[in-house]
Amino acid sequence: MAQNKTGNIAEKALGHDDQNRAATTDISNPARDGGKYADPSGERMKALVWMGKNDVRVLEVPKPRIIDSHDVIVKVTGSTVCGSDVHLMHGVILQTEKGDILGHEFCGVVESVGPAVTKLSPGDRVVNSFCISCGECRYCKEKLPTACEKTNASKLHVKLYGGRLSGIFGYSHFVGGYAGRQAEFVRVPLADNNLMKLPDSVPDEKGLYLSDVLPTSYHAVNHTGVKEGDNVAIWGLGPISFMACYWAKKRGAKRVIGIDNNWRTEYAKAKIPGVETINFELLKGDETVPTKIHEMVPGGVDISIDATGGEYGKGFVHKMELATGMEQDTSEMVNEAIYATRKFGRVGIIADYVGFTNHFNIGALMELGITLVGCGQSPKELLEMVESGEVDPTIKVTHRIRIDDIDKGYKLQEKRAQGWVKCFVEMRFSAKRAEGTPELVRL
């Protein structure tokens, strides 16, 4: 939390970058300046708003309006909660401000379009990419939209990382300060480039997950180079890691080992044939996750993927260092992954990490010839696989809740509550529930 506040102060000192932007940034809630950013009708909508550390609330806020000529306004028909939102709730993401609307995954129906929009019309069903990209800069041309140079004005980002990520919806002013998608209406900038039309054959309950969880998990497996016959270990069995296990198996990996410390290990085994798991709470005596992996796969796995989260300290030292601000992210999972990987194997990080870490075993990395792969934010689109039925995104969807209850959904996601993996958030404009998907529950 302290680091979030410090981030806001640092950004002010650096002078927010107004140059070279393809979209108007930092409208994280139309209420920030109702006269400029709210729909002139005065209509209001429900949205999930960050009010401070561990305080997210469903509030009535103004409906957004078109600001730039390439914007569209979308009526949201489905949203969800991501493990990344929990990091925001905890206040560990830099430059989160009171009043920011959160959420980066949604599908919906286009309501109105700006004059420069050419590919979309009112009535189109769409799903968003969680990032906002311009489509024209060097990285966009290389099909790396999450590295877009023109949609994020945070100077702190450049100062801390040497380069800048694209804007991301509902994910703090560190990545553009765009209003999030856990809301009944959303403004989508550069809409031709950032919305994908959904065919009628793909219901919202499947299309929604093209926003993030499907492409992110696919990217983790793809970017670390998992191939047929590989042995793979994946840390975490939340939605991202669960689907990464699924993709690794689908690619023909020989053994896929998912690691977590709760009921999700059993869920993964039940849902993904052939996946093996380690529940690290149940390890005995001197056993550790890496020793267990070496016992299962002598010599270590070919590829390890970390899909946990840098704020989740495991041992006392890191918990203490995280709590006191001596480090921003733990190195424990990445160190475990290095130990568990065979010589000259690869370790990928898809989990969110924000800054500096202590006690990283750089020696093991160097001496064993491990390649450490930062996966970045995911760029892939997988509509065809969903449309053809080759992949069923509902495999990890356990709940359907209403926008009114989404704050409670955050708490269940945080706790990894029994039975909870990923939700579908029903909105005022949602279509009838697709058959075979979870029934609505009130929390």
Ligand X SMILES: NC(=O)c1ccc[n+]([C@@H]2O[C@H](COP(=O)([O-])OP(=O)(O)OC[C@H]3O[C@@H](n4cnc5c(N)ncnc54)[C@H](O)[C@@H]3O)[C@@H](O)[C@H]2O)c1
Q: Which residues bind ligand X (CB under 6 A)?
A: 82-84, 86-87, 212, 216, 235-241, 259-262, 264, 307-309, 312, 314, 333, 350-352, 375, 377-378, 413, 416
Per CB under 5 A, which region of 57-65, 84-92, 263-271, 403-411 contacts Zn ion? 84-92
Q: Report how far residue 386's alpha carbon sits from residue 405's, in angstroms, rounded to the nearest whole number.
A: 28
State the amino acid at position 30 in one-letter form: P
Nearer to ligand X, 65 or 422 (CB): 422
Per CB under 5 A, which region of 83-91, 106-114, 219-227, 366-374 contacts Zn ion? 83-91
Q: Which does 377 bind (CB under 5 to 8 A by kind): ligand X, Zn ion, none?
A: ligand X
Q: Report how far residue 184's alpha carbon sits from residue 265's, in angstroms, rounded to the nearest whole number.
A: 34
Nearer to ligand X, 73 or 268 (CB): 268
Contacts for 284 with CB less than 8 Å, ≥ 6 apart: none
Asked if 134 touches Zn ion (CB under 5 A), the answer is yes
Q: By CB under 5 A, what part of segment 379-438 binds Zn ion?
A: none
Asked if 146 touches Zn ion (CB under 5 A), the answer is no
CB of 365 to ligand X, least distance (A): 18
Size of the site for Zn ion (CB under 5 A): 9
| Residues recorded for the chain | 443
Residue whose tokens read 């989508």: 188
Q: Give the x/- contact pattern for Zn ion in 211-230, rule: CB under 5 A.
A: -x------------------
Alpha helices (runs of H) in 297-331, residue ranges in sequence order:
316-323
Nearer to ligand X, 61 or 257 (CB): 257
Pairing of β 185-188 and β 276-279? unpaired
Q: Phi-psi region for residue 276, left (φ > 0), alpha (ψ -120 to 50) or beta?
A: beta
Nearer to ligand X, 113 or 272 (CB): 272
Q: Which does 308 bind (CB under 5 to 8 A by kind): ligand X, Zn ion, none?
A: ligand X
Q: Report how far residue 93's alpha carbon sits from residue 440's, in angstroms, rounded to the nearest whole number.
A: 31
Residue 352: HSE in the Cβ half-sphere, 13 Å Cα cutoff: 15
* Contact present, 7 and 95 (Cβ < 8 Å): yes
Nearer to ligand X, 224 or 378 (CB): 378
Phi/psi of residue 392, nearest 5 degrees: -110, 105
Q: Report how far residue 29's alpha carbon sits from residue 343's, in angstroms, rounded to the nearest whole number.
A: 49
CB of 259 to ligand X, least distance (A): 5
Nearer to Zn ion, 24 or 291 (CB): 24
Asked if 352 touches Zn ion (CB under 5 A), the answer is no
Residue of 76, 82, 268, 401 interacting with Zn ion (CB under 5 A) = 82
SS3 at position 417:
coil
Nearer to ligand X, 85 or 205 (CB): 85
Pairing of β 231-235 and β 167-168? unpaired
The two tokens of residue 22 are: 């393809």
SS3 at position 398:
strand
CB of 9 to ligand X, least distance (A): 24
Asked if 248 touches Zn ion (CB under 5 A), the answer is no
* Contact present, 168 and 176 (Cβ < 8 Å): yes
CB of 268 to ligand X, least distance (A): 10
State the amino acid at position 290 in one-letter form: P
Residue of 148, 168, 245, 272 interacting with Zn ion (CB under 5 A) = 148
Asked if 140 touches Zn ion (CB under 5 A), the answer is yes
The two tokens of residue 413 are: 């996601």
CB of 345 to Zn ion, least distance (A): 27
CB of 146 to ligand X, least distance (A): 7
Q: Which does 86 bind (CB under 5 to 8 A by kind): ligand X, Zn ion, none?
A: ligand X
Kindly state the DSSP code that residue 414 receives in the 8-state scheme.
H
Q: Which does 137 bind (CB under 5 to 8 A by kind): ligand X, Zn ion, none?
A: Zn ion
* Contact present, 421 and 272 (Cβ < 8 Å): no
Q: Which does 214 bind (CB under 5 to 8 A by kind): ligand X, Zn ion, none?
A: none
Q: What angle do CA 149, 155, 158 make, to 5 degrees?
A: 60
CB of 274 to Zn ion, least distance (A): 26
Q: Report how far residue 218's alpha carbon sits from residue 195's, in angstroms, rounded to the nearest whole number.
A: 19
Residue of 28, 29, 77, 84 interacting with Zn ion (CB under 5 A) = 84
Per CB under 5 A, which region of 48-56, 129-137, 384-392, 427-435 contacts Zn ion? 129-137
Neighbours of 71 (CB within 10 A): 23
Rule CB under 5 A: which residues touch Zn ion?
82, 84, 133-134, 137, 140, 148, 150, 212
